[in-house]
Amino acid sequence: MSDGRGPEADAPSPGADAPSPGADALSPGAGALSPGDFLRAHGPQAIDWAASYLDRVGTLPVLAQVRPGELSARLPDAAPERGESFEAVLADLDQILLPAVTHWQHPRYFAYFPSNTSAPAILAEMLAATLNNVGFLWRSSPALTELELVVMSWAAQLLGLPSGWHGQIEDGGSTATLTAAIAARRLTGRQKLVCSAETHSSAEKAARMLGMEVRTVGCDAQGRMLVAELGDLSDTALVVATVGTTGRGAVDPVAQIAGACRRHGAWLHVDAAYAGSAMVCPEFRWAFAGVELADSVVVNAHKWMLTPMDCSLLWSSRPEALRDAFSLVAEYLRTPAAEDDWALSEYGPALGRRFRALKLWAVLRCYGREGLQAHIREGVRMAAQFACWVAEAADWELAAERHFGLVCFRHRAGERFNRELLERVNSSGEAFLSHTVIDGRHTLRLASGGLLTTDADMSRVWELLQREALALSRAPGGTAR
Amino acid sequence: MSDGRGPEADAPSPGADAPSPGADALSPGAGALSPGDFLRAHGPQAIDWAASYLDRVGTLPVLAQVRPGELSARLPDAAPERGESFEAVLADLDQILLPAVTHWQHPRYFAYFPSNTSAPAILAEMLAATLNNVGFLWRSSPALTELELVVMSWAAQLLGLPSGWHGQIEDGGSTATLTAAIAARRLTGRQKLVCSAETHSSAEKAARMLGMEVRTVGCDAQGRMLVAELGDLSDTALVVATVGTTGRGAVDPVAQIAGACRRHGAWLHVDAAYAGSAMVCPEFRWAFAGVELADSVVVNAHKWMLTPMDCSLLWSSRPEALRDAFSLVAEYLRTPAAEDDWALSEYGPALGRRFRALKLWAVLRCYGREGLQAHIREGVRMAAQFACWVAEAADWELAAERHFGLVCFRHRAGERFNRELLERVNSSGEAFLSHTVIDGRHTLRLASGGLLTTDADMSRVWELLQREALALSRAPGGTAR
């Protein structure tokens, strides 16, 4: 293998302590060309595959129509001895992998929360993999380090967060919440995490990983944390409040929770993983009231801000507490103090970090504030339209108020009916929805906000739901409640 | 913004609760084209940028020649109001970001450890960002889930690990070690982590994050953990042993450490983040003796296996312990049991995960075993050659035995001389090396293994070191010891 080593290196010299018997036959895949020439040779095919995938994804079944283990059985038991061509990889992606892909970019993907990609971010990810910088010290990539801080400042302004907070990009909301919990425990010396029954499971998972105790407070009928139940927080390291809960999109009363935290010296972590992106529109900022009192806030740009995984935006008003919790400079990492102050590894669990900032930068540049606002507003408008249809249909009901792009609803025909209905809809391949439980009842969740979703897709999923409900009510046993 | 919504959506309809005053002027960047058309329009430019970057990276200064804050000052204070063209982003990447990039793919990048990218992986990352799957449940992406398990099985075979272990891809070595520590504490109910003075700082950081106690045992003159100092491990949750230490590439006696762990019921985590990739060559497998007795092993494919960040391979012989530590199924995540058993979120800290398996699959396919072996052998051969040059030069000395691709060496002219020498070499932009401390003395580290490194680059860095040493010895104060 001799990429980029020039023609004279095409026949590798055997190493002094390492004869290389098989390497005289160069792999036709990656070994025969320099990396630049390989990209020129195969890049256009890959670009074309990506472009045509996004053109046609709406024609594929949304939810993968395979059984567990089916894909594994179709893949070889071992890596090849010799390199294969990139064309073979692309062909297998199409023929073997694609039937096992659940299409998150499908215009009728409505499950969980959206996870948008976008064309500028796709290209930026390719460039990040090309540079392949590892940002653990400032000097290991000043560009990665400083761009991450700068785009986090841009994003804070876009979402109406206070200026001057320390921003960093983590891989996901779970890591962001874990980071906050570690810093809070270190700062307070306390072992308790407080959340609500509607808080995302990552809070409980963080506490379990850290060996912290969890106290769960109740919610009101709208799924909002009951401030009255917070009680004495003097033994609490942190409270996790949510802006846009996973189950139904509820917004906890952040300002009141912040007041309780301040009185008792507890850290307030605001989980706005989903709804945070909507704060780019002033008309949704009511949901961020009080967020300026938080100690940390997380917004997943990889959900609703056109930036693919992994791009979880974590801000903190207490960077010194993060640094106190995470700073650890080994001898081989020591650099001048003027550089150490910048190192992002000082502020979170990871040492190395990818050049995630590049894709967020490309998105913020290529969409601008107006483009992001338009994307959010389209998603909300479509969800509002869908919620109207549900509310006006005799056999259906909204299970909760529609928040942002999330509609929670059910058919009036009862528990088993709704379970079977969801199964039928998802099996059809025409749309993919997920479920939750509200007031003890099985509830369907439709989250809009996909990059490719149109009004026609909203009409079609509504028609699909009605059609499957009708078929189910006519099927033997289908009317069971 | 109307990507993919078809021409009829070009003028966004104002939302019922969200008028969109500015969005009638579409962003020229990302809003005017469908995602597919955007990729067709700008993908070729991005591919060309990546290809020409890899062609010319050897002509750029390796270590970024900027001061802290210099890049930040050149970037705007805020994101643009309206979307900009992708050409503008690429131009700024060239003119503003690139001078602040430390070039990890430069053929004379010898600092820390290599972090290889490769052409197949670059294209696969683009495809992963296109699909943008989020793998937290099997059904959220069967392809992501099953391919990750399959390529981890392929990689285990390539590296000579036992069959049947559970493999998963984490973002980095720090997360992998944290994962092992959490599982070990949960399994044993013990609070102590044992490592050596040469163990990577991520072990101590994991313990600190978790509130665990650290006991550090000494090393022999070659930097290997002293088994005799392990003593009583009956209060120990886990021991972290290293195959290829960060400081000097030393190999701990894994088999003996494993014996001690087994006797006392402690978890053995083997950190082979760097050297693990070399195990694809049978002649280096001596370093993995005893690894079959480990409870978990981590190998960073993003270091020396031609796969860009983030691709940290974590295997465990105790998947049930991982699952016991990390399983947490919220109502909105519940799927049939046959699917739950596959969910990778059950085995580690994160809920969501990227389609990291795609790039590793592309690399293993396009290089094959032979291609990977040739890559490792070339890196080792070049390091061995460099070590010979040092050993034979009167003014220089090896500070430790050369292991794998890592050479630790120093000039004989003393502490301050070596510090200043390293500063001069790195400031030259011709090469980038890092340092460590061995036997209490400042030591230069040269890690070979770059994708683009040739024999000519090795000669050039050796000439550079000699030239700068000569200049320094002639400079005022330069001979100080």
pLDDT digits (tens, 9 = 90+) for B152-167: 999 999 999 999 999 9
Q: What distance in Å separates residue A337's CA from the closest CA in chain B?
A: 11
Q: What distance in Å separates residue A332's CA from the closest CA in chain B?
A: 5
Contact A349 B174 (CB under 8 A): yes
pTM of the predicted structure, to 2 decimals: 0.93
Closest in B1, B201, B373 to A371, CB measured: B1
Cα–Cα nearest to A244, from A167, A298, A205:
A298
Q: What distance in Å separates residue B293's CA from the closest CA in chain A?
A: 23
On whether any CB of chain B is under 8 Å from the CB of A122, the answer is: yes
- In this prediction, residues B27-46 reach a mean pLDDT of 86
How much is the mean pLDDT over chain A? 92
First to last CA, chain A: 65
Cα–Cα nearest to B120, from B128, B130, B112:
B128
Lowest mean pLDDT among A23-37, A205-219, A423-437: A23-37
pLDDT of residue B8 exceeding 80, the answer is no
Q: What distance in Å separates residue A395's CA from the closest CA in chain B?
A: 24
Per-residue pLDDT of B296-322, as tens digits, reads 999 999 999 999 999 999 999 999 999
Contact B380 A79 (CB under 8 A): no
Residue % of chain A over a pLDDT of 90: 89
Per-residue pLDDT of A127-184, as tens digits, reads 999 999 999 999 999 999 999 999 999 999 999 999 999 999 999 999 999 999 999 9
Closest chain A residue to the Cα of B346, Cα to Cα: A205
pLDDT grade for A25, boundaries at 50, 70 and 90: very low
Strand locations in B172-323, DSSP E?
Answer: 192-196, 213-217, 236-242, 267-271, 296-300, 312-316
Contact B43 A351 (CB under 8 A): no
Closest in A120, A328, A378 to B12, CB measured: A378
pLDDT recorded at residue A4: 36
Closest chain A residue to the Cα of B99, Cα to Cα: A143
On whether any CB of chain B is under 8 Å from the CB of A15, the answer is: yes
Do the Cβ atoms of A105 and A450 come closer than 8 Å? yes
Angle at B10 between CA B6 and CA B15, to 5 degrees: 110
Strands A396-398 and A406-411, sheet pairing: antiparallel
Q: What distance in Å separates residue B424's CA from the closest CA in chain A?
A: 15
Q: What residue type is B335 in one-letter code? A: T
Angle at B362 between CA B358 and CA B368, to 5 degrees: 140
Per-residue pLDDT of B141-150, as tens digits, reads 999 999 999 9
Q: Which residues contact A59 (CB under 8 A, 6 or more apart)?
A: none
Cα B274 to Cα B245: distance, rounded to the nearest angstrom? 8
Contact B100 A142 (CB under 8 A): yes
Closest in B35, B171, B202 to A171, CB measured: B171
- In this prediction, residues A366-383 reach a mean pLDDT of 98
Contact B46 A173 (CB under 8 A): no
Do the Cβ atoms of A386 and A407 come closer than 8 Å? yes
Instruction: Return residues 32-61 of A near B (CB < 8 Å).
Output: 33-40, 42-44, 46-55
* Eight-state DSSP code of residue B192: E
pLDDT recorded at residue B24: 37
**Sign of the four-CA dihedral B305, B309, B314, B319:** negative
Contact A134 B201 (CB under 8 A): no
Per-residue pLDDT of B246-268, as tens digits, reads 999 999 999 999 999 999 999 99
pLDDT grade for A20, boundaries at 50, 70 and 90: very low
Cα B211 to Cα B197: distance, rounded to the nearest angstrom? 19
Closest in B72, B105, B331 to A150, CB measured: B72
Q: What residue type is A351 in one-letter code? A: L
Q: Which two tokens stand for residue A385?
A: 């339209």
pLDDT of residue B406 exceeding 60, the answer is yes
Instruction: Return residues 92-121 of A near B (CB < 8 Å).
Output: 93, 97-98, 100-105, 107, 111-112, 115-121
- In this prediction, residues B172-195 reach a mean pLDDT of 98
Q: What residue type is A149 in one-letter code? A: L
pLDDT grade for B13, boundaries at 50, 70 and 90: very low
Cα B408 to Cα B404: distance, rounded to the nearest angstrom? 11
**Sign of the four-CA dihedral B455, B456, B461, B465:** positive
Per-residue pLDDT of B66-119, as tens digits, reads 999 999 999 999 999 999 999 999 999 999 999 999 999 999 999 999 999 999
Q: DSSP for A241-295?
A: EEBS-TTT--B--HHHHHHHHHHHT-EEEEE-TTGGGGGGSGGGGGGGTTGGG-S
Contact A30 B211 (CB under 8 A): no
Residue % of chain A over a pLDDT of 70: 92
On whether any CB of chain A is under 8 Å from the CB of B89, the answer is: yes
Per-residue pLDDT of A35-67, as tens digits, reads 999 999 999 999 999 999 999 999 999 999 999
Residue A267: other Cβ atoms inside 10 A: 27
Cα–Cα nearest to B363, from A455, A79, A294, A110:
A79
Contact B102 A208 (CB under 8 A): no
Contact A125 B120 (CB under 8 A): no
Residue % of chain B over a pLDDT of 90: 89
On whether any CB of chain B is under 8 Å from the CB of A354, the answer is: yes
The residue to which tokens 């001057």 are assigned? A164
On whether any CB of chain A is under 8 Å from the CB of B82, the answer is: yes
Q: Which residues contact B42 (CB under 8 A, 6 or more apart)?
A: A119, A120, A123, B86, B87
* Eight-state DSSP code of residue A16: T
Per-residue pLDDT of B352-405, as tens digits, reads 999 999 999 999 999 999 999 999 999 999 999 999 999 999 999 999 999 999
On whether any CB of chain A is under 8 Å from the CB of B182, the answer is: yes
Contact B361 A89 (CB under 8 A): yes
HSE-CB for B281 with a 13 A CA cutoff: 27
pLDDT grade for B9, boundaries at 50, 70 and 90: very low
Contact A82 B370 (CB under 8 A): yes
Contact B133 A175 (CB under 8 A): no
Query: Which residue of A370, A418, A437, A444 to mutate against B (max B Cβ within 10 Å)?
Result: A370
Instruction: Return residues 210-249 of A near B (CB < 8 Å).
Output: 210-211, 246-247
Lowest mean pLDDT among A413-427, B21-35, B391-405: B21-35
pLDDT recorded at residue A8: 34
On whether any CB of chain A is under 8 Å from the CB of B365, the answer is: yes
Helices (H), A273-429: 301-304, 319-326, 337-340, 357-392, 415-427
Left if phi > 0, otherwise alpha if psi is -120 to 50, otherwise beta: which for A331? alpha
Contacts of A131 in chain B (CB under 8 A): 53, 101, 103-105, 117
pLDDT recorded at residue B477: 61
pLDDT recorded at residue B481: 43
Do the Cβ atoms of B201 and B230 come closer than 8 Å? no
pLDDT recorded at residue A340: 80
Query: Which residue of A3, A103, A353 to mutate against B (max B Cβ within 10 Å)?
Result: A3
Q: Which residues contact A238 (CB under 8 A, 6 or more apart)?
A: A180, A181, A184, A185, A188, A193, A194, A266, A267, A268, A269, A295
Cα A242 to Cα A248: distance, rounded to the nearest angstrom? 11
Q: How many residues does chain B have?
A: 481
pLDDT recorded at residue A477: 61
